[in-house]
Chain A
């Protein structure tokens, strides 16, 4: 709502308002992470399943289990990624910070 009202009001010509679409609002942070996780899960598991299909065709005489194994690998990777992203999000990023030791 705030964003739409900003765009409606006349903007002063001197300094345009810094509109940063890259950074989401804080209450939407969790939802965005969920979206990202789901898409990652889909992609990884599809990739794993694909590799499983290829391997089953090439090596395992069209058995079904390599496909499920690949699917499981992909899903597991996506899960792990998602987990780490959730864990990292609460603590503020420490990238680029330096500690000044008292001399």
Chain B
């Protein structure tokens, strides 16, 4: 046994070394890289004969107990020394000593330490192992997975890391709860209010997320594109800021409009061409006139603008003014003497021009006159033509109007004619209708008279014959009455016969039948036959419904039932008034020992039950149902109660018999009355 266990454990150890151990090493390296060095150092000092409890290294095996966890800081010896195996502590000791360390140390540790204290010294804290699968427990072999287990973390680091972990988890928790709060406030309105009011920066955070959601829902780009869609794909036109109208100070342009200047403006009516010519002509003489002016030279006299022939002409005046201007200009210049001759010739030219102007004027006047004359002639001619045309038009108009007038007159006369004819026709028709009506009236009157005469004659005839008819009818009525009486007699006899038949049927059914049978139908027939007979109706109504619905028993069955009733009555014959159970028992027992009264030597006298029963039996055997019922009815107490049904039955039979007798008598009486 032990050998097999050892063999198994060695095999297991080999497996662990080849496969599981290596894997475990890797896993540990991945998990805790910073402990690698410490492991190395520990692995160096490890011992191979470390004790591991069977199955303790495996978490996958079900049902295998977890190995007790040893505190790494305490060795087994310490445990052995410090922990238990003492006398039970006194209360004061209990209070003085601190509570035992949780779960890691205790009696379990002690036991494990007791089992193998030497090996427990080096036992590192167990680490999860992926080793060995579902292998059976290997017992306390030397094969250990000890080297794979992780060494304890250095003790000084622990509290720091704990604080860090605590802080980290706290921060994580806070962030998570804050995020959760933000999310939930987006979902729930109530929580939104709470969160934004009480949590710092909660409002900003929630607002940021809401804004994001809003932007996601309504993107701005789409908005602008929707309003101005680029349907044809052309480039967008950008309008610069400098475009459009801008304020500017007015600049005077020399060319173009001359409204700002004084004097004559450019006219749209006149020809504007000569102006540049004039402008160019004007400066032309000035250089020629400029050289002469010399202040000392004899001045050329100005042209007298009043003495000029045809001074009234404005053109001449202008001309003279112009020339005078030139002369004054020349006179003002220092070289006036040079131009004196030209000025003189100019003066002569002026005079010539003035005279030419006069001739031109004359010729123009002449032309105008001739033109006026021809225009007069033309006007005369046109006026004549106009007059002629107007006259002809008036004439045409007059002819047209006359024609219109004629046609209108004809139309009017025609319409009047038509109206007259219509009136005449209407009057004629009315007259004809009137005459017709009068004729009809006359005809009706005649017919009425004829009818009256006919009626009168018919009446006369009828009154004669009707008298005879009345007599006839009265005789017929008398005959009818007679036959009716006879019919009544016949009916009555028939009715009585029917009544008798029905009574016989009922009697046969009721009294002569062996078994009780219902005679409902027979009774209905009887009632139908004697519908208006009071006696019969009363007799029928005296029969109780139970009787005709069930039928009535025959005499023999009544006697039979009486025997049964008699035995019962006899049992209760000795009962006193208000009998209890005891007296009932006594009566039932004692009545068996009683002698029955015989009736073979005459009827027994007395009121006692036995005597009554004997009398009733005799009467029944004689057929006197009535007397028998009376006898039984006289019974008192329990005897009366027990015989109640039998008495009721007897009474019903008697009632039916009596009713049938009455009806039969009535039927006989009816038949007698008829005859």
B532: Cβ under 8 A from any A Cβ: no
Closest beta carbon of chain A to B584's beta carbon, Å: 6
User: Within residues 36 to 81 of chain A, which ones have a CB less than 8 A from any CB in chain B?
Assistant: 37, 79
Known: A2-B557, A15-B549. A26 touches B579 (CB 8 A): no
State the CA gap A2–B545 with chains docked (Å). Answer: 17
What are 27 sample pairs from A and B whose C-beta atoms fall under 8 A apart? A1-B557, A2-B516, A2-B550, A5-B517, A6-B551, A9-B516, A12-B521, A14-B520, A15-B520, A17-B518, A17-B550, A26-B642, A26-B644, A26-B645, A27-B564, A27-B642, A29-B641, A34-B584, A37-B581, A83-B581, A86-B580, A86-B584, A87-B578, A87-B579, A90-B578, A90-B637, A90-B641
A87 to B641, CA, bound (A): 13
Whether A27 contacts B551 by the Cβ 8 Å rule is no
Per-residue CB contact flags for chain B residues 540-582 toward chain A (1 = under 8 Å, else 0) read 0000011001110100010011001100110110000111110
On whether the beta carbons of A30 and B645 are closer than 8 Å, the reply is no
6 A-B pairs besides A5-B515, A6-B516, A90-B641 with CB distance below 8 A are A12-B518, A15-B520, A26-B642, A27-B643, A37-B581, A87-B579
Q: Chain B contacts of A83 at CB under 8 A?
A: 580-581
Report the Cα distance A9→B545, complex, angstroms.
Answer: 17
Give the distance to chain A from B576, nearest Cβ to Cβ, in Å: 11
Nearest CB of chain A from residue B455's CB, rounded to whole Å? 66
B339 interface contact, C-beta 8 A: no
Q: Are B581 and A11 interface neighbours, CB within 8 A? A: no
Q: Does the CB pair B642–A6 fall under 8 Å?
A: no
Majority DSSP secondary structure for residues of A touching B = helix
Residues of A within 8 A of B645 (CB): 25-27
**Hey, which chain A residues are within 8 Å of B520, CB to CB?**
12, 14-15
Chain A positions near chain B (C-beta within 8 angstroms): 1-2, 5-6, 8-9, 11-12, 14-15, 17-18, 25-31, 34, 37, 79, 82-83, 86-87, 89-90
Determine if B580 and A89 form an interchain contact, defined as CB atoms under 8 angstroms apart. no
- When distances are taken between beta carbons in the complex, the residues of chain A under 8 Å from B580 are 83, 86-87
* Cβ 8 A contact of B561, one of A1, A9, A11: A1
Q: List the interface of chain B (C-beta within 8 A of A).
A: 515-518, 520-521, 545-546, 549-551, 553, 557, 560-561, 564-565, 568-569, 571-572, 577-581, 584, 637-638, 641-646, 649
Known A-B contacts A14-B520, A86-B581, A86-B584; the reply to A27 vs B565 at CB < 8 A is: yes
- 7 closest pairs, A vs B, by CB? A26-B645, A83-B580, A26-B644, A12-B520, A27-B568, A5-B515, A27-B565
Q: How far is A23 from B561 in the complex, measured between Cα atoms in Å?
A: 18
A90 and B642 alpha carbons, distance in the complex (Å): 10
**CB proximity of B262 to chain A, nearest CB, Å:** 146
List residues of chain A with CB within 8 A of the CB of B560. Answer: 1
Contact at B516–A82, with CB atoms within 8 Å? no
Tell me the nearest residue of chain B to A6, going by C-beta. Answer: B550
Query: Closest approach, in angstroms, between the C-beta of B569 and any C-beta of chain A?
Result: 8
Report chain A residues within 8 Å CB of B565.
Answer: 27
Whole-angstrom CA separation of A28 from B644 in the bound complex: 11
Q: Specify which chain B residues have a CB less than 8 angstroms from the CB of A82 in the assembled complex.
A: 581
Instruction: For residue A84, give the distance in angstroms from its CB to the closest CB of chain B.
Output: 9
B580: nearest chain-A partner, CB-CB: A83
- B584 partner residues in chain A, CB cutoff 8 A: 30, 34, 86
User: In the complex, which residues of chain B have a beta carbon less than 8 angstroms from the beta carbon of A15?
Assistant: 520, 545, 549
A82 → B minimal CB distance (Å): 5
Given contacts A1-B557, A2-B516, A25-B645, contact A30 B568 (CB under 8 A): yes
The docked-state distance in angstroms from the alpha carbon of A12 to that of B553 is 17
Determine the chain A residues whose CB is within 8 A of the CB of B569 once the complex forms.
27
Please, how many angstroms separate the alpha-carbon atoms of A60 and B568 in the complex? 48
B556 to chain A, nearest CB (A): 11
Task: Pick from B553, B569, B572, B581 the residue with the most CB of A within 10 Å.
Answer: B581
**CA of A77 to CA of B188, assembled, Å:** 76
- A77 → B minimal CB distance (Å): 13
> How far in angstroms is the closest Cβ of chain A from B254?
144
CB neighbours of A18 from chain B (8 A): 546, 549
Q: How far is the CA of A18 from the CA of B572 in the complex (A)?
A: 30
CB distance from A86 to the nearest CB of B (A): 6
Which of A9, A27, A89 is B518 in contact with, Cβ under 8 Å? Answer: A9
Closest B residue, CB atoms, query A41: B581
Within 8 Å by CB of B581, from A6, A17, A79, A90, lies: A79
Which residues of A are found within 8 Å of B581, using beta-carbon distances? Answer: 37, 79, 82-83, 86
Give the distance to chain B from A42, nearest Cβ to Cβ, in Å.
15
Task: Please state if B549 and A26 are interface contacts (CB–CB under 8 Å).
Answer: no
Q: Which residues of B contact A29 (CB under 8 A)?
A: 641-642
Contacts of B515 in A (CB 8 A): 5, 8-9
- B residues near A90, Cβ cutoff 8 Å: 577-579, 637-638, 641
Using Cβ atoms and an 8 Å threshold, which residues of chain A touch B579? 86-87, 90
Give the complex CA separation of A26 and B549 in angstroms: 20
Chain A minimum-CB-distance residue to B564: A27
Residues from chain B with a CB closer than 8 A to the CB of A1 are: 557, 560-561
Which residue of A has the minimal Cβ distance to B549? Answer: A17
With a CB–CB cut-off of 8 A, which chain B residues contact A8?
515
CB distance from B410 to the nearest CB of A (A): 110
The distance from the CB of B516 to the nearest CB of chain A, in whole angstroms, is 6
Closest-by-CB residue of B relative to A3 is: B550
Closest to B636 in A: A90
Q: A1-B560, A15-B549, A18-B546 are in contact. Are A30 and B518 (CB under 8 A)?
A: no
- In whole Å, how far is A80's beta carbon from the nearest beta carbon of chain B? 9
Alpha-carbon distance between A1 and B515 when the two chains are bound, in angstroms: 10
**B642 and A30 contacting across the interface, CB-CB below 8 Å:** yes
Q: How far is the CB of B581 from chain A (nearest CB, A)?
A: 5
Q: Closest CB-CB distance, A11 to chain B, in whole Å?
A: 7
CA distance A28 to B646 in the complex (A): 12
Across the interface, A30 reaches (CB within 8 A) one of B517, B521, B551, B571, namely B571
With both beta carbons as reference points, the residue of chain B lying nearest to A14 in the complex is identified as B520
Bound CA–CA A6/B187 (angstroms) = 88
Choose among B549, B557, B577, B638 the residue with the greatest number of A CB atoms under 10 Å from its CB.
Answer: B549
CA distance A82 to B568 in the complex (A): 19
**CA distance in complex: A56, B579 (Å):** 37
Residues of B within 8 A of A28 (CB): 568
